[in-house]
Structure 1
Amino acid sequence: MGPVLYCGDPHGSFAHIVEAALRTDACAVVLLGDMEPKRPLHEELDQIRDRVWWIPGNHDADSDEIWDHVWGSDLADRNLHARVVPLPDGTRLAGLGGVFRDAVWHPTPAAARGGAPAFQSRAEHAAAMPPQDRWRGGHQCKHWGTIYPDELNRLSELQADVLVTHEASGYHPYGFELLDALAQSMDVKALVHGHHHDRLDSRSRWASQGFASIGVGFRGISAVFVEPDGVRIEVVRKGDLDDRRAGR
């Protein structure tokens, strides 16, 4: 059986993902957010659509058109956000899309309100908005790429082998230790993320974290194998910025 491919932020480019999936006979293809498709996602990935899973990034709701190309596509039900799904190779895959935003929740002491959430859920956020400011009856469009506390809490009660996030975990200079706690509570073996367009070497932190933290660079692709003796990574395609950002 082919590998599971984890694909860093495509930002509108998908040919390299289709090529890699077909060449490796991937059993699943996981997009780590910031897809920004120029047409419906199922059209961009038509040749491999039955293998695709995705989480949203912070740019996947930048406009009505992009939102419709993602959440309105025939692959809308392959959104991993706040749930766990089984993959063909037996991997239990969980997802947490979007980013932390001050207007909703930015869980750091230096953030507005000291990191306390302004809203617990999407429904609570929408209800607090004046009717004239609601987008399609709910919160603003951009917050489809925002993390809400109830979604993270729901995930924390589940178990998985791999957790994919758009935000980075605590090893990264711009990551969040809260995601370390989430990964630990879910007993995952690996957390794979995009967002920062780099692929930093975090192996020195794996033992203390209790899981492997893996970044995938801008338009990069990595295969991640969860094996009895640990986690193994194969870089299928280097990210476009990997070399220049290696020492970030």
Structure 2
Amino acid sequence: MYKSSTRSFPVYDSLRQAIIEQALKPGVKLPEDSIGETFGVSRTIVRNALVRLDAEGLVDIQPNRGASVAEPTIEEAYDIFDMRQCLEREVMQRLCAMDPKPIIKALKDHLAEEEKYLGKDGTRSIRLAGEFHILLAELTGSRILANYVNEIVSRCSLILARFAQAHSAECGVEEHAEIIEAIARGDAERATTQMHSHLHGVQDRALLNPEDDRTENVAQILSRYRPEK
């Protein structure tokens, strides 16, 4: 989903996925030389990827200090969740006014993937949970709306890595199923209410966790995200 194709973008894709899957935690340093060696590319290519991620709010670049995974403040966290509520409300309104058949098939296929990895692969479950919301936006047919939702969902994943209490992925899967049911009925009010409740549940679990381990070996983590040749 949202994969890039040019030579410089696999680094961006891999870094972005590692951040979204919470393998790279907020505050972790992202040294250009180490990342370049991991992917076999120049520091210029790495820098271009980091600049793009900085523009998306996932990386923080400071002059003379280099790049690190962004550390959102609690104020930013609440603001981002407020904006996400607005965007996903619009998604629900649009989907419920459309032919539900192709929408429901795509959503149920994705839900099956979420259920497949539930309790088996926590990293993939995190990514699939976010991609469910991105898929919802894509199914509206609005590229602009999908791009906005894609970015804000990614930033929410970063927020959860920074301010998150352990939570059950099972709750998320059940809530996704309820949202799908409401869309299938074309019930915009119900779908909007379900989405609002779902996002508030995620937000309510955003509690400060002072035990974050930021002594990660970035090269070792990113080696798992290196594209196969």
Q: Same fold (TM over 0.5)?
A: no
Q: Per residue, is there more strand in 1 or in 2? A: 1
TM-score, normalised with respect to structure 1: 0.24
TM-score, normalised with respect to structure 2: 0.26
Q: Per residue, is there more helix in 1 or in 2? A: 2
Higher relative contact order (Cα pairs below 8 Å, separated by 6+ residues): 2
